[in-house]
Structure formats: structure tokens, C-alpha cells
Structure 1
Amino acid sequence: MNLLFNLFNHKRYSLLYFYALFFLILSGAIRIIFYFWSIQDIDFSIINLIRIIFTGLFFDVGTISYFLIPYTLYLFVLPNKLIGGKIDKSITYFSYALGLIIFTFSFLAEFTFWEEFKTRFNFIAVDYLVYTYEVVENINQSYPMPILISGILLIVGIFIFITAKLKVFNAAFSNTTPLKQRIPITVLVISTSILFTSFISNKNAEWSINRYENELSKAGIYSFFAAFRNNELSYPDFYITQDIDKSFKTIKNITLAKNESYIPNNNLGLKRQVKNVGEELKPNVVFICIESFSASYMKRFGNQEGITPYLDSLAQHSIFFTNLFATGTRTVRGMEAITLSVPPSPGRSIVKRTENTDLFNIGSIFKQKDYKNVFFYGGDGYFDNMNQFFGGNGFDIVDRGRGYLMGDEFTSKRTNIEDNEVQFENAWGVCDEDIYNKVLKEADLNYQQNQPFFNFIMTTSNHRPFTYPEGRIDIPSKTGRGGAVKYTDYAINDFIKKAQQKPWFKNTVFVIMSDHCASSAGRQELDASKYHIPALIYNLPIDSAYEVNKMCSQIDLFPTVFGYLNWSYYTQLFGRDVNLMEAKDERAFVGNYRKMGYLKGDNLTVLGDQKVANFYIWNRATNDLNLTDKNKTLIEEAISFYQGQDYLYQNGLLKIDKLLP
């Protein structure tokens, strides 16, 4: 105890101690605020609350150790004769103010991140850091920036005033510490940071079955850097594996439809030929991928707000999928599932990985039928690597570029949305009406050239800051998600009405589906209800309007479209024609960047990145997950799909030149 007292009884180090104390108090206070913010999703327990506080404090200590290293080294090497001089004071004041600004800003940012995602900083925050323009503009348009900046400066000013009032600066500038007494403090700070870097993982904070309690036990800044280090996970290193031959045998048995046959010499792969009899239909296909659109927004699924009147009506005149699930929680995960028709990959989406071009995808099948593939995005497709991904996989690009290039091999395939084509724009791009008007123009050109087209449209309006042109709907712009959803619905209605006046409309199929739900946060490992999205197929050449109630995934939508069009083609997509699924084969893939879920009926298998598998019974009525005895068959099926997808990607077997005979 005396040694500990002597260790911290150095007035020269009083500012360092005071800074650390500020951080620990504020971080602990934010943890308590978040706790009560989420109290309805936490199974209250005094013991668990104490564990949250002390686990969080442990990670806070690790976090502050990194912040203290520069100043600790400075105090260690600065000669005593320079203490209190102009150089010492200038460096100290600047460093202290900068440090206060950094952690004050990070704490305030945590509030906005928690509001949006109900989690500490994770790989989403890391990804957003790359796209500074979109993120800064989004913050600027979503929040009162002058007030926020003033608030940060005010808080920092108060901290500095308190520090001066308590004469901490005086103590730091008027006292010396012998070198032999500086060594233990320096060793302690550096050793703590080394300990956390080498032996402590963010996963050590995940002690509860309640996801919120795990997130509250973490430290935001520490979580950010943990995500920065681990945003791409090796499946074999982190997840349960089995014999790869067994995995592909299982996948093949589940995937093969009655109108398909596997290509010979294809033991480790899904290369197969789809054969349908009768005349093939070749209409144009327009796919609308709606940003953040949960099934719960529609009247069909119980919503009484009346924010999707057109889609509610359109669903009654379409083939409407009522039991379809998104594979992930971000746009790039939806794009991965829809375009490549594969289960989600751990860590980063393939859309953002390096080896992500020349892959076999739904566009490859359209190419087999001589379609022109075009990707439309109202923002800059540089964001989230979308242009690189779509441009490198057979799509032309139409976006609102600001000068970023995709590389010389792709620039000739890019068309810009010009200023005179824009009536409204926010941080994420032009409003949905503008992108649809651009689609109409491009479709007219293709029609004149007698060119069948597949248009993939990614919308942006249903995204914070939730702004859109005034006067379109009865909810003012920038008043929240409900208004953005209703404007999204309005814009689709406007687009379809305009398309109906075009000569190409009768021969055009419209496919509509969300990229992911608006919120994915839940109490347990994976909240299955937060992956439930709507999808519909409208204006098929065959006169059909009915509900498809089979459980299916985003990856199944386009194989099902191809089935309705009666196409024969080569494929290696994991997705299936839903209409050819037997009840025993219905399944969905749901996950986040670490948890890989396999949903069959009410059974949810979750593969975790510590080589674990948990098995739950999902109660749809209460949305509870009840941990139960493991189902060996379903766990093996889950491993097969996720290990198989990873094996194909890692070995270049998803490439298009590996497929066609």
C-alpha cells in the first residue's frame, strides 16, 4: 500500500492523474446513462449492474493507458531544469487541451452512434472514417453543428478551468521528480497498454447472454480500435470447421433443385446447369434496393402509421414475399447477398474486400441473356467501394460522382448525374425522385437501341438526416424516419406512374426489396425479427399476384425471378428458386460482422468467432431466443454453408472464369 501511495504521490504527475480521473469519471457516467437508456432491453440485476460497471472500468483503464503514453514519455525524458518553462507550459497546455477535445468529441459521438445502432463503436465506425465527406455532411445536416462545436469547446474550457482552479497546473509546473521515481510510473502505463494490446480482447467484455449488457461493459474508444484491427476475420481461424468435402456434400444436397444438375468434376463447388422447358421470357428488369426498409413499416406486417400506402397497394398486385430475411445490417452486406447470392462472410463484406472483381453474380446470368447491366446510385459510388465492386463485376455505373475514379479500366463505364438533373440533394446523394428520373432517361436510350436492360437502383432518401423535397408528403422533411419512409414510398409511386407512360413498361419487370432493416440491435446474439424485410415482383409477363410465405433469404430473390422468366442458364449461386424449395429446405441467413446465423423455421443456429455454436428456439410472438440443447444436424448445415462460401472466395472459385464450361 505504501508503495502504491508513493507511486501516485508525485505532484509533477498530478496533471496526468487528473486527466486519467476525468476520463474514467466521464466514461463511467456515460455507461450509466446508456444503461438507463436501454433499461427496457436489460434483465435488471444488481449483480449484473456491478459487473457492467467494473468490467467497463477495467476496459476504461486500458483505454486511458494509450492516451497517457505520450505525456508519460514526455515527463520521463524532460530534464528537471526545463520544468515550468515556456516550452514545458506550451507543450503541456496544448497536449492537455487536445486530449480533452479528443475524448469529449468521442463521448459525444458515442451518443449519436448508440442512438443509431444501439452499440459501442464497431467496424461501421471504422468504415465511416474512410468516407469523411459523406459522414461530415451527414453530421452537419443531422445535428446543429455550431451548437455541438460550441458545446465541445465549452466542456473543454470547463475542464481546463477546474484543473486550474484546483491548482493542478501549478503542481505540475513547480515540482520535480527524480528519474528513479519516474521509472515505475512509466513502466506501469506502458505495461498496461502492452497488456491490453497483447492479451485483452474486446470479446473479453462479452460475458452476458444479453447483448446490451455486453456492449455496456465495453469502452467506446477501445471498441473502435479493436474493430480497426479486426474488421476482416479468417473463417478457419475463428469459426468452427469440419471436413470441407462434408461441407460441400451437405450444401449440394440442400441446394440442388429438381430442374438442376451439377457440372461434372465439381466436388468443391456449386457449378450447375438450370434447365427449364418452354419459352423463355426476356423482359427488362428494374431492381429497386430500398435503403433501411424494415418489413414492420408496412401495413401487411401490422404497421398502423400509414407511411407506405403505395407499397401496401402494390403488394396486392404483385408476387409478395412475406417471410424473407436480410443477411446483414448494412448496405454492403445486402449488396453482397443480392448480387453474389452467397451467405454473409465474417468481418468485411466481399464488396469491400480486395479480391472482389470478376466474380460470378446475378449480372453474369443477365449477361448470358444479352442484357445490359447498370448500377444506379444517388450518391458517390466511391462510398463503400460500390463503384469498384459493380464496375469490376460487369455493371456500368450511373452515380453522383465528385471526381473519384474507379481505375482506368472502369471509367469508360461511368455516367455522372449532372447538376441540372438534381432538384434535391443531401449528404448521401440526390433524392430518390432524381435517381428514378435518371433511370427513366437511361431506359429510354436502351429502348431506342433495342437493348434489354437490368437496372440495379440503390436508393438513399431513407437515411439520416431524413431530408427530402418539401411538399411531397404530409410529413415535413428532417422530422424523422417515418417521414423518410413515406417519402420513399411516394417516390416509388411517382417512378412507377412515369414508367407506365413509357413504351417499354409492358415489357419490364419491377423487383423491390430492402438492403437491410432500419435497426438491427436486439437483446441477444442475433435478433431475427430485425432482419425481416419485404420483397415483391411486379408486372411479370404472366398475370400473377399472390403471397409467397416460404422462409427465404435475400440470396434467393433473383434465382426466383429467373424461375418466373423460365430461364435456362449456368450458375453457382447459393440462392434457390423459392418456388422449387421443399419445406425441409426453407432457410435464411442472418448475421452481423461476427455472428453468423442460420435460421430454419423457429430454429436459429449462431456461429461465433471463438469457435462456438449456440442453438436457440425463436419465439416469434415474444421475439425471445431461448437457448436450448444443440441440434447437431442444423449446426453442421450452418457450418457447411459458411465454411463453403469462405472456401470458394478464398480460393478464387467464385470467379466467373472458373464457372462456364
Structure 2
Amino acid sequence: MIKIFASVLRQFLFWMFFFALNRALFLIYYSQLVSLEKPGFSEVMAGFWNALRLDMATACYILILPFFLLLLRSLINARIFDIANKVYTFIIIVAYTLITTTELGIYAEWKTKLHYKAFHYLSNPDEVYNSASTGQFIWLVLIFLIMTALSFYAYHRLVYRRPLLMKRNYFASLAFLIITPALLFLGIRGGLQEIPITQSQAFYSKHNILNLAAVNSGYSFSFSWMENHRFMKENPYQFFDDDEAISILEEINAVEKDTTIQLLKISRPNIVILLLESWSADLIHSLGGEEGITPEFEKLANDGVLFTRLYASGNRSEQAMSSIFGGFPATPVAAITHNLEKVVELPSLTERLKEEGYLTSFYFGGHLMYGGIKSYLRIAGFEEMTEIYDLPASMPMGKLGAHDEYLFDYQIEELDQYPQPFFSVIFTLSTHSPYDQPMDKVLDWGGSENEYINSAYYTDRCLAAYFEKASQKDWYDSTLFIIVADHSHNSYRHWPVTSPQYRHIPMLFFGNVIKDEYRGTKIDRLSSQADIPVTLLKQLYLPTDEFRWSHDL
């Protein structure tokens, strides 16, 4: 029994060391690019620690077939299972090493991990060869051959050096059948947390090259292929030829005359975005909802600028992120945050503000790895990022993370430490199921959405407390607050999911930086979250040409 479990453990450790070796090779190969970023040695080495969970998940995926082979080996005394295990391992080593050595060749040009589009080049391998210098090509071939040979030699000599000699033991086989799949499943999902692991788990640094080094190359490539393989031969969204599509887009984006209304008293305010989880317009009386759900928001709206016809770009939080910070509308099938090679090409509101001297931060009481959000936010340029792992252990938590009131208080104290101007985002959590906010129910109606509207009542109360505390800070009078939902939610009115009413969400500009004559006004222009970057940058007198999908409201 010990032998069969020990064999799995040895194979698991082999893959963990194998992944770490490939990561070290990437960092050494691109040491000059790494040094240009000027990270500290400890920050570079931290990548190996932050990579562990994704490496473990990848290793557990790989060990699924060896598990079945070992199970059969424990029941049937035949060497064919040992041979099959070695052949399988050799194939995986070759495939993984091919991915990593290819990344060595393409990173300087692509600045991304190897992704599904690599398959497009297999039909023209001479193009791949011609795009690299002869010297580089020879180096990469040598690295591939040496890494493959050394890795398989190590596996053969140290991990699976001789056939397993096991007596048939049905009890041991049964224990192996029960325990090992449970451990593999736990490793694949990354632990017992609510949200399974994603590539975002490995992102930890403001230096993108270190984040990409930490992401397991095999996991990244496989995920990219699974997300996009259906569309490798054709673009499923192409309904016009390119020239006609560009012409239509230019016509839509044409601005005959800049008629921007300057709402702000100062040109470089601090900016705080309060991103509200799943807030429907039906929660807000002034947007057509029932009275009494969010009375504190109503008070804020009476002293701010309310956008009455804002519709969610998508129905997932990750889609909202790329819209709000990249000015990019949500795409069907797969969110752009799942495609790192595309994310790096997006413009970034955060980076634009950093160029103007803003310190940038993002706060969330839960797990940011969901939906590729963490990796997107890192690439978008957020310098300081706080999620559940970074919060004090003493902070009261719900099932998904920190309750809104405690995260609000935490961010206010953090902002006290930042130089001005700052750009900070706080993403709420309590209006997401399971609605375990620390408050007794106040509203006794709403039917199946009773818990949802009570959670909104709680967050609304937290907003009032937030602004009461923030108003006592020195930076308050110089701060523009933008309150906006990430997406909508089913409400007590049960709109069809395809209806405009279902997508209707709130957005409010608020703060003492708004000129007195514009407080309490409403803007009725049809809009989405993708319009936030240009609208905000116009208020700061900054250029907006790169945000082609965003409009000034």
C-alpha cells in the first residue's frame, strides 16, 4: 500500500520540480528584460511561491492517467502499465518543454504566454523558422533537446527507476481508489475555497514579466486552447468585411464638435470608484425601482450627477472590469479577461492615470482570481491590490469574504496613507449570494429575491457610513466618487434576461469636487460602463483617442 502511494507522491514532486526548473529557465533566458523592470531579488523569487497552487493543479491534471495505470497495476501484475506510464510521461515532458521553449522564442515579440493562436502557425512552419535568427533557433532546439533528455532521464532514474513489485491487496487498491482521486480533485480546484483556481492566482507583481513567469505554461496554453479552439479557423462574429466594419465604427465614433461639460472644480481630483456587486436599477427608486430599498443612495443622488440610462456591458464581473478600466464592451462566449494575449493590447484607464501621477489601488473582500480578474487588474496597472488574503485575520468574514462595512472602513484608513492624487477602486461583495451580511432582515417583501433586496439595503447603509467617515478626512473635498454597478441581477420584477430592464444599472458621480450648479442633476444619455474611461478623462482634460469603444457622456 505504501509503495503505490509513494509512487504517486514521487511523480507529483517530479512535476513540481520540473515546472520550477522551466520557470527558472525563462527568468534566466530573459534576465536582461527582468533587470530592466528593476524588481528586487525577493520579488523575483516570490514568483516560485505564488506559482505553487497553479503548478499543483497542473500536476494533478497530469496524474489522472498515472492514477488509473497504478490502480490497474495494483490489481494486475503486468509490466505493460509501467511502460505505458513512462511513455505517457515522456509525451507530456516533450509537449510541455516544447511549449516553454517556444515561449522563450516568442516572448520578446509577443509579451504574452504561448496561446491558442500558435496553432495557426503550424500550417506555415517555415514562417516560424524564418522569423527567428539562425542562432536563436539553434539555441532553442538545443534547450528543447537538453531539457527533454535530462527531465526524462531524471524521471526514469529517480522517480520510476524500476517496475513496482506489489502483492495483490484489494484493501490497498480500494483505499487508493478512494483517497487518491479526492486528493487529485482537491489539487485541481486549488483547495477548498469557494472559487476554483484560475491563472489569476499566480499574479502577484506589478511587473508583468514576473506574473507571466509565475503562470504555469502548460495550464495557460491548455486553458487558452479550450476557450478558443472552436474559433481557430474563423471569426464567429464577422458579419461585415473589415473595411465596412471600420467605416461603420468611425461613423459611430465621429464627434463633430467637442461639447464636453466640465462638471468638476479641479482638474486633478482624487478618484474613488465604488463598484457595487450586482446592483440592478430596480433597487433604486429614482431609477424606477420600489421605494425604501436604498434610501441612502437616494440622498447621495440628490447631491450628485445621476446617469439614468446606463446599461451593463455584460452580466459577469470580469466583463465589467474590462469595460470600466479598458473601455472595451463585453464579448460573448468568452470574456477578454480570459485571453491574456488580448488583454495586453487593451488601453488602460489605470495606466493613463498613473502617467499623470496617480497612485492606483484596488480593494476586494473576496477572491480576485475568479474570471481572470486578478491577472487583468495587474496588467491594467493597479499598483496596490488587496483581496481576502491580505485583510486582517480579525476582520469579520462571510462565506465569500469580508462584509462591505468592514472593507469600507479598511479602505478609508488605507487612503489616509496614500499621497495625492490617488485612484482607488473598492469592489463590494455583500450583494452576492449567499447574502450572509451581518444584519437582520428589514424588508419583508420581494418574493424569491427577498434576500437580495435585503443585502442591497445593507450595502446601502454601509455606503452612508462610508461617506460619513470619509467626509472627515483631509482628502475628501478633493475626491470624485463614482458609484457604479458591475452588472445587474434578477429583481423582484423578474425581467427577461434579454430585456433592457434586466441590464439597467446605476451610476452616480458624487463629491464636493462637483460644481454646485450640477449637483442633483441627471444625465439621460444611453450609455454603458465602457463609456466611463472617456467620460472621466475628458473631465481631467486628458486625451482619449486610444479608447475607441468609449464615449463621452
| TM-score computed with the length of structure 2 as normaliser | 0.55
The structure-2 alpha-carbon separation of the partners of 1:279 and 1:455, relative to structure 1 and needing over 3 Å to count, comes to closer
Structure 2 counterpart of 1:244, which letter?
D
Check whether the contact 2:483–2:507 (CA below 8 A) recurs between aligned residues.
yes
Alpha-carbon distance, 1:514 to partner: 0.5
Corresponding residue to 1:323 among 298, 309, 316: 309
Aligned length: 356
Check whether the contact 2:430–2:455 (CA below 8 A) recurs between aligned residues.
yes
CA distance in 2, matches of 1:229, 1:303: 41
CA distance in 2, matches of 1:461, 1:469: 9
Whether 1:437 and 2:412 are equivalent positions in the alignment is: no
Within-5 A mapping of 1:308-347: 308-347=294-333
Corresponding residue to 2:392 among 412, 418, 437: 418
Alpha-carbon distance, 1:292 to partner: 0.6
CA distance in 2, matches of 1:279, 1:301: 27
Residue matched to 2:382: 395
The structure-2 alpha-carbon separation of the partners of 1:388 and 1:533, relative to structure 1 and needing over 3 Å to count, comes to same
Residue matched to 1:368: 355
Within-5 A mapping of 1:19-38: none
Residue matched to 2:464: 493
Residue matched to 1:22: none
Alpha-carbon distance, 1:427 to partner: 2.6
Alpha-carbon distance, 1:258 to partner: 4.0
Residue matched to 1:45: none
Check whether the contact 1:400–1:430 (CA below 8 A) recurs between aligned residues.
no
The structure-2 alpha-carbon separation of the partners of 1:241 and 1:280, relative to structure 1 and needing over 3 Å to count, comes to farther
Whether 1:574 and 2:518 are equivalent positions in the alignment is: no
Alpha-carbon distance, 1:445 to partner: 1.0
**1:241 counterpart SS class:** coil
Structure 2 counterpart of 1:484, which letter?
S
Structure 2 counterpart of 1:352, which letter?
H
**Sequence identity, in percent?**
23
Corresponding residue to 2:514 among 541, 544, 548: 541
Check whether the contact 1:358–1:394 (CA below 8 A) recurs between aligned residues.
no
Residue matched to 2:219: none
Whether 1:474 and 2:442 are equivalent positions in the alignment is: yes
Structure 2 counterpart of 1:312, which letter?
E
Structure 2 counterpart of 1:527, which letter?
S
Check whether the contact 1:368–1:569 (CA below 8 A) recurs between aligned residues.
no
CA distance in 2, matches of 1:453, 1:378: 20
The structure-2 alpha-carbon separation of the partners of 1:256 and 1:484, relative to structure 1 and needing over 3 Å to count, comes to same
Structure 2 counterpart of 1:387, which letter?
K
The structure-2 alpha-carbon separation of the partners of 1:129 and 1:514, relative to structure 1 and needing over 3 Å to count, comes to farther
The structure-2 alpha-carbon separation of the partners of 1:549 and 1:440, relative to structure 1 and needing over 3 Å to count, comes to same
Within-5 A mapping of 1:499-578: 499-519=470-490, 526-539=498-511, 540-543=513-516, 544=518, 545-563=520-538, 565-578=539-552
CA distance in 2, matches of 1:525, 1:294: 12
The structure-2 alpha-carbon separation of the partners of 1:276 and 1:435, relative to structure 1 and needing over 3 Å to count, comes to closer
Cα displacement string for residues 192-236 of structure 1 (whole angstroms, at most 9, x for unaligned residues): xxxxxxxxxxxxxxxxxxxxxxxxxxxxxxxxxxx9955776494
Whether 1:378 and 2:365 are equivalent positions in the alignment is: yes
The structure-2 alpha-carbon separation of the partners of 1:238 and 1:131, relative to structure 1 and needing over 3 Å to count, comes to farther
The structure-2 alpha-carbon separation of the partners of 1:578 and 1:428, relative to structure 1 and needing over 3 Å to count, comes to same
Structure 2 counterpart of 1:249, which letter?
S
Whether 1:253 and 2:251 are equivalent positions in the alignment is: yes
The structure-2 alpha-carbon separation of the partners of 1:398 and 1:523, relative to structure 1 and needing over 3 Å to count, comes to closer
**2:362 counterpart SS class:** strand
CA distance in 2, matches of 1:297, 1:337: 22
Alpha-carbon distance, 1:259 to partner: 5.5
Residue matched to 2:135: none
**2:315 counterpart SS class:** coil
Alpha-carbon distance, 1:245 to partner: 2.3
Cα displacement string for residues 589-619 of structure 1 (whole angstroms, at most 9, x for unaligned residues): xxxxxxxxxxxxxxxxxxxxxxxxxxxxxxx
Residue matched to 2:282: 296
Alpha-carbon distance, 1:346 to partner: 2.9
Structure 1 counterpart of 2:331, which letter?
S
**1:425 counterpart SS class:** coil
Check whether the contact 2:282–2:290 (CA below 8 A) recurs between aligned residues.
no
Structure 1 counterpart of 2:403, which letter?
C
Unmatched tracts of structure 2, length 5 or more: 1-67, 77-167, 183-187, 197-223
Structure 1 counterpart of 2:275, which letter?
C
Structure 1 counterpart of 2:422, which letter?
F
Structure 1 counterpart of 2:413, which letter?
K
| TM-score computed with the length of structure 1 as normaliser | 0.47
Check whether the contact 2:349–2:533 (CA below 8 A) recurs between aligned residues.
yes
The structure-2 alpha-carbon separation of the partners of 1:367 and 1:97, relative to structure 1 and needing over 3 Å to count, comes to closer
CA distance in 2, matches of 1:237, 1:577: 26
CA distance in 2, matches of 1:340, 1:553: 13
Alpha-carbon distance, 1:323 to partner: 0.8
Structure 1 counterpart of 2:480, which letter?
V
CA distance in 2, matches of 1:559, 1:511: 14
RMSD after superposition:
4.5
CA distance in 2, matches of 1:556, 1:542: 21
CA distance in 2, matches of 1:394, 1:238: 31
Check whether the contact 2:276–2:486 (CA below 8 A) recurs between aligned residues.
yes
Check whether the contact 2:535–2:551 (CA below 8 A) recurs between aligned residues.
yes
Residue matched to 1:642: none
Check whether the contact 2:281–2:288 (CA below 8 A) recurs between aligned residues.
no
Check whether the contact 1:559–1:577 (CA below 8 A) recurs between aligned residues.
yes
Cα displacement string for residues 114-155 of structure 1 (whole angstroms, at most 9, x for unaligned residues): xxxxxxxxxxxxxx967851249xxxxxxxxxxxxxxxxxxx
CA distance in 1, matches of 2:466, 2:263: 34
**2:465 counterpart SS class:** helix
Check whether the contact 1:559–1:575 (CA below 8 A) recurs between aligned residues.
no
Structure 2 counterpart of 1:516, which letter?
H
Cα displacement string for residues 450-478 of structure 1 (whole angstroms, at most 9, x for unaligned residues): x201111111111111012236x7369x9
Residue matched to 2:58: none
CA distance in 1, matches of 2:504, 2:245: 27
Alpha-carbon distance, 1:562 to partner: 2.8
CA distance in 1, matches of 2:466, 2:242: 47
